[in-house]
Amino acid sequence: MKIGIDSYCYHRYFGEVYDFQKDPGKRWTTDDFVRRAIELKVDGVSLELCFFPRFDSDYLKQLREMLDEAGMERVAAWGHPDGLEAGNNEGALKDLIAQIDTAMALGADVMRVVGSSLMFRDQARGPQIERLTAMFKEAVKVAADKNVILAMENHIDYTASELLTLINNVDSKYFGVNFDTGNCLRMFEDPVASAELLAPYIYATHIKDLSPRKGGSPQAWNFWESVPNGKGIVDIPAVMKVLKDAGYKGTLCVEVDCLQEDWEEDQAVEMSVNYLREQAAKLGL
């Protein structure tokens, strides 16, 4: 299976430092991230649009050429941190639709999108899904015309069955899931069972491992700290097998967020990439 990296792994390098984290004392650009991904010889990247320095055609063309030369697959990742805000933000919907052109300019045929976030998890989710259904039906019309698949991440907001309801409501081959293994646990679900339920609709992934911290509340997302793949409690090999059996064609895209302080971002990413390669070899994937 193909292996990739999401640029959000380096969110502190991009200047997004959570209030409980230390500043790493370095700054990257999206170009720096792509160069590092090339050094790690991965097959693809997921590019967080929130970290782009600009969106003019010259810059997007230069970035696409860099990716093309490296032979890298790419996903354009829209919506950090709260996306459509559970269907309450019409301005965000307009931006999502506008950024489909960015995905095209980058040569990405999959665009990760965010419908909501932990901020809205405790609000009634039925009405949220109704609002998001209408929004994604509007967005997917544009995406379909441009041959771009919108893949909604399980963003610590909805269960796998709720996502399946949304997928059935939107009812388009251009709408599916960006499956995040760690965020399943943050929703108190089994990542393997969730992968099995959603497998036919998964177009992109975040392969994330977690290790619960001592103290705090499991309701808080930072209770479930990221660790390098293979160092936590997510059964990643089992998820890999589910995806393989389902005929998944995209990349296994490493993502770390809220990284446990024992690790450093680039160290965690390299360890995670190597782990996925080792597991793929063991599983014959």
Q: What are 188-198's pLDDT values in tens digits? A: 999 999 999 99
* Those residues with Cβ within 8 angstroms of residue 12's Cβ, 6 or more apart along the chain or in another chain: 21, 23, 24, 265
Joined together, the tokens standing for residue 17 give 């430092």
161-187 as b/e: b if 16+ CB within 10 A: ebbbbbbebbebebbbbbbbbbbbbbb
Q: What are 139-182's pLDDT values in tens digits? A: 999 999 999 999 999 999 999 999 999 999 999 999 999 999 99
Helices 125-145, 90-106: crossing angle, 10 deg rounding: 40
Confidence at residue 117, expressed as pLDDT on a 0 to 100 scale: 97
Confidence at residue 125, expressed as pLDDT on a 0 to 100 scale: 97
For range 99-105, the mean pLDDT: 98
pLDDT at 285 over 90: no
Joined together, the tokens standing for residue 24 give 């790493």
Q: What are 3-58's pLDDT values in tens digits? A: 999 999 999 999 999 999 999 999 999 999 999 999 999 999 999 999 999 999 99
Judge if pTM exceeds 0.85.
yes
For 91-149, the DSSP string reads: HHHHHHHHHHHHHHHHT-SEEEE----GGGTTS-HHHHHHHHHHHHHHHHHHHHHTT-E
For range 118-137, the mean pLDDT: 97
Confidence at residue 13, expressed as pLDDT on a 0 to 100 scale: 98
pLDDT at 284 over 90: no
Kindly report the average pLDDT of the chain as a whole number.
Answer: 97
For range 108-115, the mean pLDDT: 98
